[in-house]
Structure 1
Amino acid sequence: MPLNKFMSADDAVALIRDGDTVGLVGGGGGLMEASCLFSAVEKRFLETGHPRNLTAVHSLGIGDKKTRGMNCFAHQGMVRKVIGGHWPWSPRMQQMARDNEIEAYVLPGGVVMQLYREIAAKRPGLLTHVGLGTFVDPRREGGRMNEAAHEELVEHITIEGRDYLRYKPFPVNVAIIRGSYADAHGNVSLDQEAANVDIYAVALAAHNCGGKVIVQVRTAVDVGTLPARSVRIPGAIVDAVVVDPEQRMGYDTVYDPLMSGERRGPALAHPPQPMTARQVIARRAAQELTDGAVLNYGFGIPDAVARLVELRGDGERYYQTIEHGTYGGELLVGTLFGFARNASAMIDGPSQFDFYSGGGLDLAFLGFGELDREGNVNVSKLGGVPVGPGGFIDIAQNARKVVFCGTFDTKGTEIEIGAGRLAIRRQGEVLKLVPSVEQITFSGEQSRASGQEVIYVTERAVFRLGEAGLVLTDMAPGVDIRSDILERIAFTPVIPSDPKPYSADCFG
């Protein structure tokens, strides 16, 4: 009897049972998100009350901050537990975590991707240094983000006198993924997708756990027509294929072959960026670039550095990467973070994180939410709300040099930029340089022990990580060291006798 794995979305999601652990894939902005299947799961739950008590696992952020992505699973009773790398794309799920309606856990994005491979191979979990000294270290919080979370997902171990973390394996019962093309045997191509992320790893984990692999694609093709080199998910591990002819490359992009790497084209024309605090930070941070460096850009203000490099036409001077598995090209920003045009290579996400965790990055530009006297950075939990680091921990802990980029304070700050100077017209209501961060996403102590070079860039001052904590090294001209810096910091940094001024090109 010939194989035929095509079926309706309703029939496919009926394979999900109450209590299943479901691996979900996405990367923000609709990147690699099986939106049709997510909606079908939500529809089934709202109509029947099933599936319920699910455990949802995702490595990166999924959603639109409204109704799509993880928002489809944010219903009381539908999900019991979430292990998520990045949460802000689903405010509803964040609120459920804050209200203790679910067990909320956060693990580093790269760790989740690599853990899928360990689960698939039936190895005893992921053994790594990634996460030591941060909130995922069981000697701190073990990745638990609310009072409802009580499981121990991580353990600390010592091998030959060195500290490691073991991220424990768990069964994956269902993988919900997507591709571009599929045949009736279940062979899946990603040829028209903008990234690979952890598609194969989660599918293999589900299959080898005896679970189901459900795939959404845009186009059905005849058996035997897909070139073997194009098949990224073999039919042997696929259980169901759903065709969604309305599938889009991203929420705001129907299809762009320059994003999928199928062909190359001219670079986009971008207008000059307005001279704001964000731009001042980007220009000062970009002064840390060195020719030939292998780079990573994080989400938020760091993507302004990527845009600056593009506007200057300097992209060919560096090897640019993002954690989704993409190298080179024009890295897109904002809600399109994770997409790139004219990329030079696209590899699987777990392999990209192998490169990162092994020290392959020369330089990383990352954001910060809070910064304290010890050089610790928090981006993972702010105001009691789970945010999650995505790939931040995997990257920040292992790059040879890290440049953290963020505004000095926030909420109501007003600045004036001109004539090579910066003037503070109104101080922000919320301090970001605090005595102790709410949660440690980057450990200053761990960084010092590893010999990293760490710099913290704001619009008005630059600090570096020293043996005794933060050291003030640079100041923006026009800024008063006492009223605009020291009185706005909840601790006293080390201050040399002559902090350097920002160069004039930081302001125009």
Structure 2
Amino acid sequence: MDPRVLIAKRVAQEFKDGQLVNLGFGMPTQASNYLPQGVKVMFHAENGVFGVGPRPAASAASADVTNAGSEPVTLLPGAAIMDLATSLGAMRSGILDITVLGALEVDQLGNIANWAVRRHGKWWPGIGGAMDLCYGTEQVVACLMHTDKDGASKVLKKCTLPLTGKSCVKTIITDKAVFKVGENVLILKEHAPGVTLEEIKTCTEADFIVADTFCEMNV
């Protein structure tokens, strides 16, 4: 299975019926394609939409109806469209039940860095609304590849990049594992199909303990 599809499928299992859900750019938006049967949620897009529906056919796509990543979407009955300032206010207010954010780094303290890398002496590209989501949402899920292109861990003892949110992440989902964030330590809950505990230990910088219920992801 494509690692990004695996992550998106596992992320979708975090959603509970009736929740108001924000999905960040990239992998998080794909989670909407894999909702568990019988689970109905309302999706929010940062650019100002409550009630985001499935991706339309190419022939029905409109450049005026997109999510925050400029991907075409549909609107469900009862959807609401608003200006960006109102949408950001809603994100800060605490009404969202869960937000899923892509990440460059996460750490065992529940910190997340997802907005900047250093290029040509400058931090790029910019923070967007992720900081508002980290502040205003009780349940923050971070999803990312477990290692970078050189094989270095992206699940760290302490983030090295500028933070997006501090001590806000509750769950970390990678292509190799699922962690819950405990008290200054991660709790390993699940492993991806075909991934061993030893492999996770080898590619994880962060300190973690193994849950008594440690099992394989059901994806």
**TM-score with structure 2 length normalisation?**
0.82
Give the aligned partner of residue 5 of structure 2: 279
* Residue 429 (structure 1) aligned with residue 151 (structure 2): yes
Give the aligned partner of residue 319 of structure 1: 42
Give the aligned partner of residue 116 of structure 2: 381
| Per-residue deviation, residues 189-209 of structure 1 (Å, max 9, x unmatched) | xxxxxxxxxxxxxxxxxxxxx
| Per-residue deviation, residues 421-465 of structure 1 (Å, max 9, x unmatched) | xxxxxxx53421233222111211xx3xxxxx7111112100111
- Paired with 1:356 and 1:329, the residues of 2 have a C-alpha distance of 15
Whether the 8 Å CA contact 2:25–2:68 is kept in 1: the answer is no
- Paired with 1:305 and 1:314, the residues of 2 have a C-alpha distance of 15
Give the aligned partner of residue 207 of structure 2: 492
Cα distance, 1:359 vs structure 2: 0.2
Q: Which amino acid aligns with 1:495?
A: V
Give the aligned partner of residue 288 of structure 1: 14
Whether the 8 Å CA contact 1:464–1:472 is kept in 2: the answer is yes
Give the aligned partner of residue 342 of structure 1: 75
Whether the 8 Å CA contact 2:179–2:187 is kept in 1: the answer is yes
* Residue 467 (structure 1) aligned with residue 183 (structure 2): yes
Give the aligned partner of residue 91 of structure 2: 356
* Residue 297 (structure 1) aligned with residue 23 (structure 2): yes
- Paired with 1:335 and 1:465, the residues of 2 have a C-alpha distance of 27
- Paired with 1:322 and 1:283, the residues of 2 have a C-alpha distance of 19
- Paired with 1:390 and 1:361, the residues of 2 have a C-alpha distance of 17
- Bigger mean CA offset, 369-378 vs 277-286: 369-378
Whether the 8 Å CA contact 1:296–1:363 is kept in 2: the answer is yes
Whether the 8 Å CA contact 2:46–2:67 is kept in 1: the answer is no
- Paired with 2:17 and 2:191, the residues of 1 have a C-alpha distance of 25
Point out where structure 1 has 5 or more consecutive residues left out of the alignment: 1-274, 412-427, 448-452
Pair 331,399 (structure 1): closer, same or farther in 2 beyond 3 Å: farther
Pair 497,290 (structure 1): closer, same or farther in 2 beyond 3 Å: closer
Whether the 8 Å CA contact 2:46–2:129 is kept in 1: the answer is yes
RMSD value over aligned CA atoms?
Answer: 2.5
Whether the 8 Å CA contact 2:176–2:195 is kept in 1: the answer is yes
Q: Which amino acid aligns with 2:103?
A: F
Cα distance, 1:314 vs structure 2: 6.9
- Paired with 1:381 and 1:337, the residues of 2 have a C-alpha distance of 19
Pair 300,334 (structure 1): closer, same or farther in 2 beyond 3 Å: farther
- Paired with 2:68 and 2:136, the residues of 1 have a C-alpha distance of 26
The SS at the match of 2:195 is: coil
Give the aligned partner of residue 180 of structure 1: none
Q: Which amino acid aligns with 1:283?
A: K
Q: Which amino acid aligns with 1:472?
A: L
Runs of at least 4 residues off by over 6 Å: 312-315
Q: Which amino acid aligns with 1:361?
A: L
Cα distance, 1:477 vs structure 2: 3.4
Q: Which has more strand, going by share of residues? A: 2
| Residue number among 106, 110, 128 corresponding to 1:390 in the alignment | 128
Which structure is richer in relative contact order (CA contacts within 8 A, separation 6 or more)?
A: 2
Q: Which amino acid aligns with 1:406?
A: L
Whether the 8 Å CA contact 1:363–1:401 is kept in 2: the answer is yes
Pair 402,331 (structure 1): closer, same or farther in 2 beyond 3 Å: farther
| Per-residue deviation, residues 202-221 of structure 1 (Å, max 9, x unmatched) | xxxxxxxxxxxxxxxxxxxx
- Paired with 1:395 and 1:338, the residues of 2 have a C-alpha distance of 20
Pair 349,375 (structure 1): closer, same or farther in 2 beyond 3 Å: same
Q: Percent identity?
A: 26
Max radius of gyration: which structure?
1
1:240-251 pair list within 5 angstroms: none
Q: Which has more helix, going by share of residues? A: 1
Q: Which amino acid aligns with 1:486?
A: K
| Per-residue deviation, residues 14-55 of structure 1 (Å, max 9, x unmatched) | xxxxxxxxxxxxxxxxxxxxxxxxxxxxxxxxxxxxxxxxxx
The SS at the match of 2:9 is: helix
Whether the 8 Å CA contact 2:103–2:112 is kept in 1: the answer is yes
Whether the 8 Å CA contact 1:292–1:319 is kept in 2: the answer is yes
Pair 331,392 (structure 1): closer, same or farther in 2 beyond 3 Å: farther
Pair 335,298 (structure 1): closer, same or farther in 2 beyond 3 Å: closer
Cα distance, 1:350 vs structure 2: 1.1
Pair 302,489 (structure 1): closer, same or farther in 2 beyond 3 Å: same
**TM-score with structure 1 length normalisation?**
0.37
- Paired with 1:389 and 1:314, the residues of 2 have a C-alpha distance of 35
| Per-residue deviation, residues 462-495 of structure 1 (Å, max 9, x unmatched) | 011112232211112321212x211112232132
Give the aligned partner of residue 401 of structure 1: 139
| Residue number among 148, 151, 170 corresponding to 1:454 in the alignment | 170
